[in-house]
Amino acid sequence: MPNPGSEFDFIIVGTGSAGSVLARRLTENPTVKVLALEAGGTRIPESVLIPARWPTLWRSEVDWDYPTVPQPGLDGRVVHIPRGKLIGGSSNLHVMLHIRGHPSDYDNWAYNGCPGWSYQAVLPYFRKAEDQEDAQGDWAGRGGPLHLINPKYHAPNPYSQTFIDACVELGHRYIEDLNGPDMLGVGWQRLNIKAGQRQTNAHAYLLAALERRNFTLSPNSHATRLLIDGRRCIGVEYAQGGMTRTAYATREVLLAAGAIESPKLLMLSGIGPPARLREFDLPVVAETPGVGENFHDHVLTGLVYEATQPVPPPEMNFTESVLFCKSDPGWPGPDLQLAFVHVSFDLIIGQAHPNSVSILPGLARPMARGWVRLASANPFDKPLVHPNYLGDRADVERLVQGVRLARQIFATPAFARYVGQERLPGASVHSDAAVRAFVRQRAETYHHHVGSCKMGIDDLAVVDPCLRVYGVDGLRVVDASVIPAVPSANCHAAVVMLAEKAADLVKEDHELSAGHTSEGRLLELVTAAIVPPEGVAGALSLAQAIVAAENAHDVEAAVALFAEDAVATLPQYTRTTPQGIRDWQQELADQHFHGTLVAPRVDGDRVSWTGHIWLDPLRGLGIAPLAGQWDMVVGDGKIKAFTFAFSQEGMARLQAAMAAASAGQAGNGAVSQEEAASASSDPTPPAPVAHHVAEHNGRRSSTSGRLLALGSVALLGGLSWWLRRRGEESRGEEREAQSV
């Protein structure tokens, strides 16, 4: 029997870009226990947080630094692949670019054996993850954990605008938002930068899980094999501090170790191509020939021109503008990505000519496929990695085309007075043969490795469209390795989207909701209607507390208890701005919560709101719009008092609805916005909710009390979520660069 302390509902292997998302989302349900194993450490160096320092992180203490096998397409060169060796994984090393890719990328997934992964199907998960500062269209995400800035509004390098102007001169369209429905053209990147610092997935996602009692993080824990009982994965064996340990999962093991380590761990556990497993005397648990196959990556090269005007030092991540285009008009989306970088692509040239700029032509849709294979049966040995860079003739020819396009951009009038001599590859490299030779000599990884545990329904698929491993129950892979074909852009956005969707797939399979009794379903309706996943646990806790206190004749105490428990740790409330209120109103409206809240009134240490609300899912219960007032007294970074009140007319309507529900009568649900407006104009001063515990015919009604509790959830749950979100930024800033 396993040690009770080593048993969890879910075990996540890896807390990188995908694993951090899983940790946050699965722990939102307080009834499940989650363990996350991280092979790296928890200390995030200050150099990680400085956006312009990303090139210095490669081959450093926070990089696993995987060498490839010699690459035939690169004249036998070995390429070093950086992968993050700490919580947050490679979100600590990447260039902070957040680009979703073209809609056809995801439609292609769906058409090729991944139903449920079309662009329209995954769009909600992109939006759920994002908090885009300049969000305009309905495709953009607002209020999510990932903060996205547009460098256009943050004192960008002037050469970045010159690059955009040059591309427009060549006939390429200017695209306002490259994450929108059309990314073919030139525009500003979106960057994972918050308050001037890199926002890793450890900050955006993992910290939220670490604040929950149902989550355990085990750092410096190297997974050595999966524990398989018959055809079911029941746990993980891992090494920590020189000792071998085991942890058991009663529901699932979620493998999120990345496109290099995930296939390695599967093979070490007997899941993979039988012949390759037998090479190392490994037992065959599941014959899965696709494990380690289909491995691929974007590939790029660079052109360097000496600038004739001073290039300002970097304020952000060196690359702020980019062009997406087609090598052939018949492509459904872009297959070339040309990023502008206001430093030298080549270190040696950069030292000799520091005032230089570069364009990096890259293949957005490579044809070549490689593999990941075991080097030995030793779990601490790095696997053999073969991305097969430029292993297909079409990849070489299209990269040559990208080089020629970069030269055309530098030759435009827009760049005429800003650049001089071409330093790389140089004027002597001009013929097709010479350019081919150049790209083979100077092509590099774009760090977007995917595909080694591909999702699908074909014979090489390792996981099904729900990310469950074929042939083994209780095991999923949730990371870049399941991506069947790399999106035509930087991959971090796609990995986060994938993990967001995977978390919902897991929750659905295990029915991780508020409950399935009528009361539980009612709670679920309310929380689903108004509270995004960040606040579900808190809203449910409030409902349960108020129900219990109502039975104990003490609603006021329950409200005070909730306020202390849920939001007392928020460091400040200076972000309660009119725009913040409008943002909250829009976000709740997206969840079927409607109403009008005016900007808060601040009087010393007291903050007050007024307005009216109505909830779509509660119309069937006859709960009408309520005019109300919310009052909060803050000080020393904590809530000292928190009350809310409804107008007498609104409370009368609510009590009538509750009385009908108590008597078994259905509400008529006829709630209109006009009624809400009239309710909001009710001149009768609000009365405290603690004075309105429903009593009918001289007796306390349990059902009506529960409905009152649900109304309380609607108000405080939504407000609590908003306050948590506003306070999260401050908490993150205080904790960045510290040991988690």
Q: Which active-site residues does the annotation give?
A: 448
Contact 622, 657 (CB under 8 A): yes
Q: How many CA atoms lie within 13 Å of 216's alpha carbon, on the beta-carbon side?
A: 15
3-state helix, strand, coil in the chain (%, to 5): 35, 25, 40
Taking the C-alpha atoms of residue 319 and residue 160, their distance in angstroms, rounded to an integer, is 8
Contact 642, 631 (CB under 8 A): yes
Its sign, for the CA torsion 363, 366, 368, 373, is positive
Residue 198: what are its φ and ψ, rounded to 5°?
Answer: -60, 135
Buried b (16+ CB within 10 A) or exposed e, 277-302: beeeebeebbebebbbbbbbbbbbbb
Helices (H), 510-592: 518-530, 536-551, 555-567, 578-590
Q: What angle do CA 220, 447, 440 make, to 5 degrees?
A: 135
Q: How many CA atoms lie within 13 Å of 526's alpha carbon, on the beta-carbon side?
A: 30
Q: Which one, of 5, 98, 90, lies nearest residue 40 by Cα?
A: 90
Residue 630: what are its φ and ψ, rounded to 5°?
Answer: -120, 135
Taking the C-alpha atoms of residue 458 and residue 454, their distance in angstroms, rounded to an integer, is 10
Contact 490, 110 (CB under 8 A): no
Q: Which one, of 367, 376, 171, lies nearest residue 264 by Cα?
A: 376
The residues, ordered by sequence, that sit 6+ positions from 383 with a Cβ below 8 Å of its Cβ are: 66, 260, 261, 263, 264, 292, 372, 373, 374, 375
DSSP assignments along 106-164, one per residue: HHHHHHTT-TT-SHHHHHHHHHHHEEETT--STTS--SSSEEEB-GGGS---HHHHHHH
DSSP assignments along 179-229, one per residue: TSS---EEEE--B-EETTEE--HIIIIIHHHHTSTTEEEE-S-EEEEEEEE
Q: Give residue 604's region: left, alpha or beta (phi > 0; psi -120 to 50).
A: left
Its sign, for the CA torsion 345, 346, 347, 353, is negative
Taking the C-alpha atoms of residue 484 and residue 440, their distance in angstroms, rounded to an integer, is 26
Taking the C-alpha atoms of residue 483 and residue 462, their distance in angstroms, rounded to an integer, is 11
Taking the C-alpha atoms of residue 651 and residue 374, their distance in angstroms, rounded to an integer, is 68
| SS3 at position 432 | helix
Longest dimension (CA), the chain: 97
628: number of Cβ within 10 Å: 25
Q: Which one, of 116, 105, 170, 96, lies nearest residue 468 by Cα?
A: 116
Its sign, for the CA torsion 313, 319, 325, 327, is positive
Taking the C-alpha atoms of residue 629 and residue 627, their distance in angstroms, rounded to an integer, is 7
Contact 593, 715 (CB under 8 A): no
474 Cα distance to chain centroid = 24
Q: Which one, of 156, 152, 201, lies nearest residue 178 by Cα?
A: 152
Q: What angle do CA 661, 685, 577 make, to 5 degrees?
A: 95
